[in-house]
Amino acid sequence: MYINSGVLGKLMPILDTGAVASALSGSLAGSDGDRLAEFVCVGERVEVARIAVGLSTAVVSTGNVLITVVNRPTAKSATGQVTIGTLTIPTGVAAGKVYYKDVNQASIDPGGSLCFIVTTAAAGGSKAGAAVPGFIAQEDPEYKLNESNMVASA
């Protein structure tokens, strides 16, 4: 996982997706069942500047694999999500390559998330591929009382 150290502790992986290599050949392409990872914002707002995936297994497919990255106002909910960018991974790409896209600094607010979803899975008889998602972001701090989702605990 590639994370700018300035946001470590601000965006945390949701445990059911983790930060390990995930298959690009799932059968539920486009659904939440094919989340590579989802990172929930638990601190100050952050602005994402780059999205990326590092391939840990070669991509074998009859067509390109597409990974859509979305900004979700509420973690684990597709309601109101906005696409930040789509990564296109061509077939035949060897393990070790990193595909990235610079994006127009999308703000992830507290309680929201950054989600990587396989929207077109690897296909064909010997389909294969696995990737580890990552991003580069910077803090975009706001005074905590101005953030409606930041609630001080008793």
- Could you tell me the CATH number of the domain that includes residue 59? 2.60.120
Rounded CA gap, 44 and 82, in Å?
A: 20
In this predicted structure, the answer to whether residue 28 has a pLDDT above a threshold of 60 is no
pLDDT of residue 64: 94
Query: Is pLDDT larger for residue 83 or for residue 1?
Result: 83
Rounded CA gap, 112 and 47, in Å?
A: 12
- Structure pTM? 0.81
In a domain, 150, yes or no: no
What's the structural domain count of the chain? 1
Rounded CA gap, 69 and 117, in Å?
A: 6
Dump pLDDT digits (tens) for 42-61. Answer: 777 888 999 999 898 899 99
pLDDT of residue 105: 75
In a domain, 144, yes or no: no
Average pLDDT, the chain: 80
| Among 3-12, 14-23, 103-112, 134-143, the least confident range | 3-12
In a domain, 105, yes or no: yes
In a domain, 149, yes or no: no
Asked if residues 44 and 140 have their Cβ atoms less than 8 Å apart, the reply is yes
Residue 117 domain boundaries: 5-137
H/E stretch holding 86 reads strand 82-89
Strand order from edge to edge, sheet including 113-120: 11-13, 35-41, 113-120, 65-72, 82-89
Dump pLDDT digits (tens) for 79-106. Answer: 999 999 999 999 999 999 999 999 987 8
In a domain, 69, yes or no: yes
In this predicted structure, the answer to whether residue 1 has a pLDDT above a threshold of 60 is no
In this predicted structure, the answer to whether residue 126 has a pLDDT above a threshold of 60 is yes
In a domain, 125, yes or no: yes
